[in-house]
Amino acid sequence: MADLKASFRRLAVSIENRMDRLRRGQKEFGPLTILPYLGHGTSKMLHLKGRVVADYRVTSPLETDSGWKNLQNNFRRFHTHEIPYAKVRACYGEMEQEFTANDDGYFAVHMELGQAPSEDQFWHDVRIELVEDISVQATGRVLIPPTQIQYGVISDLDDTVIKSDVVQVTKLLTNTFLRNSRTRLPFAGVAAFYHALQQGTVGGFNPIYYVTSGIWNLYDVYLDFLQIQGIPIGPIFMTDLGLSEQYLFKPGRFEHKLAVIRELLQTHPNLSFILIGDSGEKDAEIYGQVAIENPGRILAIYIRDVSQKRRDDEVKAIIETVRESGTEILLVEDTIAAAAHAIERGYIKPETLSAIQQAQRKDTPPSNPVESLRKAAKDKSGGKDKTL
């Protein structure tokens, strides 16, 4: 069986490579496009990723788009004509540096800053252009937070901010492929809560970073969703699909999230963080490990409960272990529970609670009888002890 799987992977890679060579040989590529992703940095350095593709024909989403239209757009997102080893030039202020994309067209910009940027603004523009054709340009944006901030926030996206139903495959596929950024739903009250976290209690600007095991092909969906829902934007860290002879899908979602969070803590060594995730996958395990590795730096961990009782029991066991290390970690039923704790600990202003409560009521859809019965059964079984 192992040999058969390996042969299938080699065949898939061979077919993909031949199709890429055929398209390049027949010059089927259309106009070139640079897709920059929101970057991050400090007063000393900046980091930004992006991709060079051709014939990018994804259309802007509408609330009236049919499932078929959304499926077509998502097919285009995955059926990309990447430009391997494209050379790009990054321009920031008076600085210019060249970088080379990998075989999937992804490039990574890392620039050391000779002079600290102005703290009058938090987002800084970086012009990205193709070295061989400077008419192909795009503007990337990099978040460089001020030096004096209260804390940072690192948040998951799927089933933490945006409803994805990761643990239910049919619903996950429906949400991912048949809906768009205008028809997908947020968790109630998230926008107001995240704005309160961004403001903190000293009236500053606390940066928010999003870490997901989702793949870069869906980047624009997540970014559009944040903007449409009025949720504070921030750098989004995603993964590559990763077709190779070793695997069809790049493994290590746990390792990906853990590596990104470690990188952010290393990039901002004097900054404490609040971590927000859900119980559906491995956020509790990942955040718990981060807290144990970095005593005193994780102010609080909020885990939204989206799972069944068996998983809740696993999360509760993790919570007890993490608490022994001195970090507060809560399994919360809704946004209000997390906000109430954040107010109690002085992370957000008390007066923001009414706005968060109002937003949660507004965002909450009409009750689903089936879901109500499921929750009632879970409550009866003792699976809803949210005050751990």
Rounded Cα distance between 237 and 245, Å, is 25
Task: Indicate the DSSP class of residue 383.
Answer: -
Rounded Cα distance between 47 and 113, Å, is 11
CATH architecture group of domain 31-143: Sandwich (2.60)
Give backbone dihedrals phi and psi of 382, rounded to 5 degrees, phi first.
Answer: 85, 20
Global pTM value = 0.86
Q: Is the pLDDT of residue 168 over 80?
A: no
Sheet holding 236-239, edge to edge: 236-239, 208-215, 152-155, 273-278, 298-304, 328-332
Contact 40, 235 (CB under 8 A): yes
Per-residue pLDDT tens for 30-75? 899 999 999 999 999 999 999 999 988 888 888 888 888 888 888 8
Domain residue extents for the chain: 31-143, 152-380
Per-residue pLDDT tens for 317-330? 999 999 988 999 99
Q: Is the pLDDT of residue 374 over 50?
A: yes
Task: Please name the fold of domain 152-380.
Answer: Rossmann fold (3.40.50)
pLDDT band at 28 (very low <50, low <70, confident <90, very high): low
Give how far the C-alpha of residue 31 lies from the chain's centroid of Cα atoms, to the nearest Å: 28
* Rg for the chain, CA atoms, rounded: 22
